[in-house]
A and B are shown apart, each in its own frame.
Chain A
Amino acid sequence: MDPSSGTLVQVHDFSPWTLPNGLFWIVKVPDSAVQTSPDGKTLTIHLENVPVVDAFTFPPPVPNNFAPDEVDISPYQLIRARASFDITYKKTANPPRRIRPATDDPLSPLNWAGKMWDATNSGTFSVTYDDGTFSASGSFDSSGNFGEVGTERNGFFVHHEEDDNDDDVAAGAQPLSLPFQPAAMSQLAATAITKEPMKFVLLKGRVPVKVIH
């Protein structure tokens, strides 16, 4: 932190890391980890011991002993950890935004369709290094920051949707929950993957940012 500016300095950055194919900070969880209220207005997540790594900042720091042309092959320092959290998302009473694709450009952020409600969210978390040298816990809430909940279609489904009902559903009337499907869990596989060397590609920034008084 720069005391004169009062700005925050990021000191930790926890994520599941980016997969080699570019899938960004995403993990697959059982459907039962996400619950939706009967009226579709509230969605909750409960996860425990999700394997993550601490990359310290986003973008992660490039090791200083590598040449500029080695950036894309440089190993990043990652610390294995486990994160647990509970989060509740709540739709606001505002009318939903109906999103229509504004372009055919497959790389554009506006090439998707959906019906999104502004949403608040709040929760609690804990994170612990696998070696036990660091742990932290706390709470968070959106408190005016942007958030949204809804249904969407992208990629193939934008232009090949068989039943486009996005505009026909009254706000709050469409339940968010999907039919429960048991996840094909493999504890052995999960254990094996966590023992692989941490290398992969990159990520983005957040948890937690240290405040210096």
Chain B
Amino acid sequence: MRTIGILNFRNAGGNAMRRRLGYLLFLLLAFSFPLGAQIEPIPNLTVQPIPLPGGDIVPPYGLYNQFFPGPPNQIPPFDPMNADPHGITNFRGVTAMGYTSGPAKDNSGNQYTVITDIRVYQGEYIGGETADVVNSAGATRSGRARGTFVEI
């Protein structure tokens, strides 16, 4: 989104304006780089979150470790309204989710309807951590950790 703003600045014209906007551009870039590292790869976590054991079975893929709660009598059907919205098990904390739709446009001008289901999980969880790095192949034990996760 910030890239779009930068392009607009370049069209403003005028040397003084360009110098000022160049400075703004620098700031935007400077603040953009750390944001590129927002995601902490889950395989690198000391305590690995465990996926929900259940979920929906969708052929031909098989089991997805997640439910899709929603109102009854929909086509295609949702899971029950009170189905667990979480994707991680042994979790205690805040959950937010919701289905949406809206307009979108691509770089060629094509129009789309965007459909989202983005969820937030923030809190404490019990996952797997390596019990003995030296004398095992990586065998786990239960470990506690806190974290914020987003399902996209």
Q: Is B81 an interface residue (CB 8 A)?
A: yes
Among B18-26, B82-90, B130-138, the one that faces the other chain is B82-90
Of A12, A123, A125, A176, the residue contacting B94 (CB under 8 A) is A176
Q: Which residues of B contact A31 (CB under 8 A)?
A: 122, 147-148
A2 CB-CB contact with B under 8 Å = no
Q: Are B86 and A47 in contact (CB under 8 A)?
A: no
**Distance in angstroms between the alpha carbons of A113 and B80 in the assembled complex:** 14
Interface flag for A207 (CB, 8 Å): yes
Inter-chain contact A157/B45, CB cutoff 8 Å:
no
Report B-chain residues with C-beta under 8 Å of the C-beta of A50. 38-39, 150, 152
Distance in angstroms between the alpha carbons of A146 and B146 in the assembled complex: 27
Known: A119-B96, A122-B100, A125-B116. A112 touches B86 (CB 8 A): yes
A24 lies within 8 A of B118 (CB): no
B14 at the interface (CB under 8 A from A): no
List which A196-213 residues lie within 8 A (CB) of chain B. 202-211, 213
- List chain A residues, Cβ under 8 A from B99: 142, 145-147
> What chain A residues lie within 8 Å of B7 (beta carbons)?
none
Residue-wise, chain A 140-161 has the 8 Å CB interface mask toward B (1 for contact) of 1111011111111111110001
Residues in chain B near residue A106, CB distance under 8 A: 53-54
Known: A48-B35, A134-B106, A207-B116. A24 touches B55 (CB 8 A): yes
A64 near B: Cβ within 8 Å? no
Q: How large is the interface on A (under 10, 10 to 19, 20 to 34, 35 or more residues)?
A: 35 or more
CB-nearest residue of chain A relative to B114?
A208
Q: How large is the interface on B (under 10, 10 to 19, 20 to 34, 35 or more residues)?
A: 35 or more
Q: A143 contacts which chain B residues (CB < 8 A)?
A: 100-101
Which residues from 114 to 153 on chain A have a C-beta closer than 8 Å to any C-beta of chain B?
Answer: 114, 116, 119-126, 134-143, 145-153
A47 to B149, alpha carbons, bound, how many Å?
Answer: 12
CA distance A187 to B38 in the complex (A): 8
The complex places the Cα of A114 from the Cα of B123 at a distance, in Å, of 13
B 67-110 contacts with A by CB, 8 A? 67, 69-71, 78-107, 110
Q: A89-B96, A138-B102 are in contact. Are A23 and B39 (CB under 8 A)?
A: no
Indicate whether A24 sits within 8 Å of B51 (C-beta atoms), given known contacts A33-B148, A49-B36, A209-B115: yes
- Is residue B50 within 8 Å, beta carbon to beta carbon, of the partner chain? yes
Take A14-B152, A28-B147, A146-B99 as given contacts and tell me if A85 and B118 are in contact as well, using a CB distance cutoff of 8 Å: yes
B38 to A43, Cβ gap below 8 A?
A: no
Which chain B residues lie closer than 8 Å to A27 at the CB level? 39, 42, 149-152
Give the interface of A toward B (CB within 8 A).
Answer: 8, 11-12, 14-16, 18-19, 21-31, 33-34, 36, 43, 45, 47-52, 59-60, 62, 71-72, 83-85, 87, 89, 97, 99, 102, 105-112, 114, 116, 119-126, 134-143, 145-157, 161, 176, 178, 181, 183-187, 189-191, 193, 202-211, 213
The 9 A-B residue pairs with the shortest CB-CB distance in the complex, in nearest-first order: A147-B98, A138-B104, A140-B102, A109-B83, A107-B54, A155-B90, A155-B89, A208-B112, A187-B37
Q: List 29 A-B contacts (CB under 8 A).
A: A14-B152, A23-B51, A26-B149, A26-B151, A34-B150, A47-B150, A50-B39, A102-B82, A106-B53, A119-B96, A126-B1, A137-B105, A145-B99, A147-B96, A147-B100, A151-B93, A152-B84, A157-B90, A176-B94, A176-B96, A178-B122, A183-B147, A190-B40, A190-B41, A193-B44, A202-B64, A208-B112, A209-B113, A211-B113
